[in-house]
Amino acid sequence: MKWTETAKDESFVNVIAKYKSRRGADTARLEIVALDPSKITEPIFSEVYSNIVMPGTLQPLEAYIRITKLPKNTVKKVVPSPFPKEHVLPLICCDVTTAMEERTAQMYYTIIEHTKEVIHNTPGNTGVFAASFQVLEALRANGLDAEPKKPLFCEHRGMSSKENERMVDEFKACAQRGGAVLLGVLGGRSSEGVDFPGDEMNSVVIVGVPYAEPTPKVKAQISYFEECYPGLGREYGHVIPAMKKASQAAGRPITTLEDKAAMIFLDYRFSTPYCRQFFPLWIRDNLRILPREEGAISRELRHFFRRVSLTTKNPSGFLPQ
């Protein structure tokens, strides 16, 4: 009944999707995908006297206001970040990318070397979040599993919430035992639904811009927004969601005013003016593009962790050599 009710509504797309069952058999399912979030948000916003909307990844504000159909008299305000600038170190490496046409063995080797450099120069736990499971699996197949110095905890396809919770708890417990590595995907449970305050995650690596694959659902979303907001369909339906995923993951270690963390974005596309404008202010204000020279990541991380350790009243005691 829902399928027939939504079949002629342009704000929904009806899809027959293939997938594998838990037993590995090929099967299919019917999906009804809502393309217009304002069908949920507009009735709520219109029925109350005032709204205060303030997530940390709200920017760009104009896009959020349009997509959710906030009232025309909405007051827009970008306030300074409450986090001390010296506690946050966002860096971009421009010699790598996960762009589909450039996913070679050499490219993965360079990405893995940069990732290991972060792990080796981080005093405790490191989070590594890949653009997709395809990228995650390629990192493992090309040598990231050979990281010998710290335990590796890895998210996998079809992982239950309980399995993920146990894995995250074990990862967090390693914070005071020399550290560990958590490997997950952008947009997944660990990169958006879990906080890692204190020493539970000292560094986070963002591997690639998590653009969604051009599935029928994604294409339908872009087309719908293009119809509603001419010239902005790809930006609203493809680019902004990807940058929000990256920003959400980068913010996992920063949850209190005392937290200190390094964030390393491994993809030259993050450095372009077009993509940078979609970072929230707390990342943009501190963002630095690393020079293409050997040891640049190590140098920055050693300086950062030595400085923040000296300025805290309770240093962890772990300093990179």
Residues 188, 266: one domain?
yes
pLDDT value of residue 148: 64
Looking at the domain assignment, is residue 208 inside a domain? yes
Looking at the domain assignment, is residue 278 inside a domain? yes
For residue 283, give the nearest of 271, 269, 296 by alpha carbon. Answer: 271
Residues 172, 307: one domain?
yes
Contact 127, 182 (CB under 8 A): yes
Residues 103, 29: one domain?
no
Per run of 10 residues, the mean pLDDT along the chain (length 321 residues) is 90 88 86 93 89 80 91 85 89 95 94 95 95 94 83 89 93 92 93 90 96 92 95 96 94 91 96 93 90 91 88 44 37
| Number of domains making up the chain | 2
Residues 204, 55: one domain?
no
The pTM (predicted TM-score) of the whole model is 0.88
232's CB contacts (< 8 A; 6+ apart) are 63, 225, 226
Instruction: Break the chain down into helix, strand, coil percent, rounded to 5.
Output: 45, 15, 40
Residues 286, 143: one domain?
yes
Looking at the domain assignment, is residue 301 inside a domain? yes
29: three-class secondary structure by DSSP: strand
87: three-class secondary structure by DSSP: helix
Q: Which of 68, 97, 112 is the last residue of a domain?
A: 68
Residues 197, 98: one domain?
yes
Residues 32, 92: one domain?
no
- Domain range for 223: 85-311
Residues 139, 270: one domain?
yes
Residues 35, 171: one domain?
no
Contact 221, 196 (CB under 8 A): no
Looking at the domain assignment, is residue 147 inside a domain? yes
In 132-258, alpha helices (H):
133-141, 161-173, 189-192, 216-228, 233-234, 240-250
Looking at the domain assignment, is residue 113 inside a domain? yes
Residues 183, 257: one domain?
yes
CATH number at residue 231: 3.40.50.300
Q: Which of 68, 98, 114 is the last residue of a domain?
A: 68
Residues 51, 114: one domain?
no
Residues 133, 262: one domain?
yes
For residue 207, give the nearest of 179, 236, 183 by alpha carbon. Answer: 183
For residue 200, give the nearest of 180, 227, 221, 224 by alpha carbon. Answer: 180
Looking at the domain assignment, is residue 111 inside a domain? yes
Looking at the domain assignment, is residue 79 inside a domain? no
Looking at the domain assignment, is residue 76 inside a domain? no
